[in-house]
Structure 1
Amino acid sequence: MLKICIAPLDWGLGHAGRMIPIIKELDKQNHDVFIAGAEEVIRFLKYEFPNLTYIPIPAYKPKYGSRLPLELEMAKQSHHFLKIIKEETEIANALTEKWKFDFIISDNRYGFRSTKCKNIFITHQLQILMPGYLKFLENFLNRLNHSYINKFDECWIPDFEKTENLSGKLSHNIELDIPQFYIGPLSRFSDTKNNQLQATGSKEILAICSGPEPGRSKFKNILLKQLSQLEEPNVLIGGDLNAVKQSKKYGNCTYYPFLSPTELIIFFKNANIIISRSGYTTVMDLFFLQKKAIFIPTKGQTEQEYLATKFRKENICPSYDLHKFNVRNALAESSNFKGFEEYSNIQPCVRGSLKKHIELRLTSK
């Protein structure tokens, strides 16, 4: 039995959500799993894994939604991020000394690694994209990105390696200095036990809010105003772990501040179509669920904008700017798109691949 510490980034809850299948597989293989994360990450994962050992570590706490373009807002916060990266390396070393970890698996926490154990970095973003007016910075930022990743022992990429893949140029045709492995998409919905959970029979429109504040609340308020006026029954999940867990009715929209991962699965299964940001964790969830979707990428978050454009061009799902979004028009247009069922031919390729990969890579120090 190995001692393995999982450390997901607190950039919304997507990074924590995609660690669920890895945590489950490690548990099945009788490893001793620890979770190191920010308060919100710990609260989220405790719904699914109440009996694990949880270790609070500093949060990155990115903030969106100011008057500045997002890329400039992130630049303004870069000093804070670099400070956390430096601090978390010292924390990881101290925790490894205390708990005797054999492995650390860090999902996009660039500094959470230790000289006292083997370190694995998980990311889908080997290629950072910049908007046109900052394109001249792209090479520099990617060299910096790779320099941090190369301090780990291995990089695991949650996608397929071949041409038919989900992340496109974000994680392909890039060579690191350390071994890199494509482990297949990761989703809380990939578990066979979850796949056996039955939907209620009702078919609804489901909207999901995600991401850091204050952008998440702004997104929620715009969606709630439009969804409450629809004739069709719909559900909006606010993604607010700090709110009282009580549903409210707004016209035909039922609003839930948040749901546990198990509860969320039922709502996903009930949905005819899902309205959400175009983050990569959501993309992987939709891949496993084979659902139709409508994407509203976070303005200025180039990764989301790239993925939304990619899947629109591939006729998988439409995408819209939030401030031009009209839910009735979007629902009408979505009927012209194929949805993520288009990937049903490659979905069987991922079954069992995570189990085999973990058995192969985590056999010893």
Structure 2
Amino acid sequence: MSKNILVAPLNWGLGHATRCIPIIRALQENGYTPILASDGVALEILRKEFPQLQSIALPSYHIEYPKNGMFFKLKMVANSPKMVGAILSEKKLINKIIKEYNISGIISDNRLGVHNKEIPSIFITHQLNVMTGNTTWLTSKMHQYIIKKYDKCWVPDVNTIPNLTGDLGHLSQKIKTIKYIGPLSRLHKKSLEKKYDLMVILSGPEPQRTFLEEKLIVELENYAGKIIFIKGKIEAKQIVETKNQITFYNYMNSEELENSFNESELILCRSGYTTVMDLAQLEKKAFFIPTPGQYEQEYLAKKYKEEGLVPYSTQDKFTAKELLQVDLYKGLKDFNTKIDWKSLFEILDKQK
């Protein structure tokens, strides 16, 4: 009899949900039955990708971005009571879900309340250190405390140099439950004819997603090349619009996105880690605009620029001319790591 495995990504932009897609597929291929759980756009995108699977709505963490990125930390502190309340509610709900759906194992991508002592529980994160400026030491210790509660922590990176996460995903003092599984991507490299000079792909929480969309539409109005512009808005119906040299999509499914990436010369996007893993898998050149105030994205953007891989600009200072820098950078490369899913899933068959 197939075991039911709860897969629960955090709803913070689209990245946590999309990097769970290859995990869900691998579970199916290895004889497990995934049951999906999240909230907001993260749940919607999983429902679109796997309409045949059961899905459950979890409490929202109430993650909100300020209009000014400088106030990101203050906004997070102000919202922390709501977040803690949601995590506690989530924890109680998970206990009910385990009984109701006969759950045999848990895979949580950064959802802190999705855990149970009675069944194998796996935590996925690329942030063993949580960057928050002068409070990084505190947020990192808190996150590491949570990680230790799980039977395994999967880090989607390699434990060698070079690597993709740098200080985010590597600790000086090891935690024995950590397993580096290699970068995760739902996309594959294909030899397709080039259709677009530039691909813009947006993601992340509001209102910063909208701010960047509005800015880029103006900046790229006179861009000398063909553009495909994916807004990252998960809606009931796909909408396609063309204006001059730009073709707009509100969203794409995985297959459409994979083809568009492979058909594009250059990618303009946030420096979120899931996007980084996709770019490395596809070996694409890119230009990054980190989300204002999000320390993790700012750290990664600076890291790749210093390593001569990908240039970046802050959101307020970006102009279309900045894209000319890309030719001076190497671009991200694939580590060619093959994930051993059968071995990773062995923990799900162990009795506690």
TM-score norm. by structure 1 comes to 0.91
Deviation, 1:66, is 2.4
Q: Is the Cα–Cα contact under 8 Å of residues 2 and 32 in structure 1 kept in the other structure?
A: yes
Structure 2: distance between partners of 1:168 and 1:13: 22
Bigger CA drift: 27-36 or 167-176?
Answer: 167-176
Partner of 2:296: 303
CA deviations 1:200-228 (Å, max 9, x no partner) are 54232001111011111111111111122
Partner of 1:164: 162
Q: Are 1:331 and 2:323 counterparts? A: yes
Alignment of 1:1-365 (within 5 A): 1-67=2-68, 69-131=71-133, 135=134, 137-175=135-173, 179-189=177-187, 194-195=188-189, 199-242=192-235, 244-327=237-320, 329-340=321-332, 343-344=333-334, 347-348=335-336, 350-351=337-338, 353-365=339-351
Q: Is the Cα–Cα contact under 8 Å of residues 10 and 61 in structure 1 kept in the other structure?
A: no
Structure 2: distance between partners of 1:289 and 1:49: 23
Structure 1: distance between partners of 2:3 and 2:274: 27
Gaps spanning 5+ residues in structure 2: where?
none
Bigger CA drift: 31-40 or 279-288?
Answer: 31-40
Structure 2: distance between partners of 1:332 and 1:39: 37
CA deviations 1:276-310 (Å, max 9, x no partner) are 00010011000100000000011111100000000
Structure 2: distance between partners of 1:122 and 1:334: 32
TM-score norm. by structure 2 comes to 0.94
Structure 2: distance between partners of 1:246 and 1:177: 46
CA deviations 1:85-112 (Å, max 9, x no partner) are 1111111111111122111000000111
Deviation, 1:245, is 1.9
Q: Secondary structure at the match of 1:362?
A: helix
Percent sequence identity is 34
Structure 2: distance between partners of 1:336 and 1:17: 30
Structure 2: distance between partners of 1:108 and 1:176: 19
Structure 2: distance between partners of 1:257 and 1:171: 32
Structure 1: distance between partners of 2:96 and 2:211: 39
Q: Is the Cα–Cα contact under 8 Å of residues 286 and 310 in structure 2 kept in the other structure?
A: yes
Q: Is the Cα–Cα contact under 8 Å of residues 120 and 347 in structure 2 kept in the other structure?
A: no
Gaps spanning 5+ residues in structure 1: where?
none
Letter in 2 for 1:93: N
Deviation, 1:114, is 1.8
Q: Secondary structure at the match of 2:127?
A: coil
Q: Secondary structure at the match of 1:294?
A: strand
Structure 2: distance between partners of 1:354 and 1:271: 30
Number of equivalenced pairs: 349
Q: Is the Cα–Cα contact under 8 Å of residues 229 and 251 in structure 1 kept in the other structure?
A: no
Bigger CA drift: 19-28 or 72-81?
Answer: 72-81
Q: Secondary structure at the match of 1:245?
A: coil
CA deviations 1:256-275 (Å, max 9, x no partner) are 11111111111111111100
CA deviations 1:30-66 (Å, max 9, x no partner) are 1011001113222211222121111111122411132
Structure 2: distance between partners of 1:261 and 1:5: 21
CA gap of 1:27–1:175, structure 2 versus 1, over 3 A, is: farther
Q: Secondary structure at the match of 1:105?
A: strand
Letter in 2 for 1:13: L
CA gap of 1:75–1:166, structure 2 versus 1, over 3 A, is: same
Deviation, 1:174, is 4.7
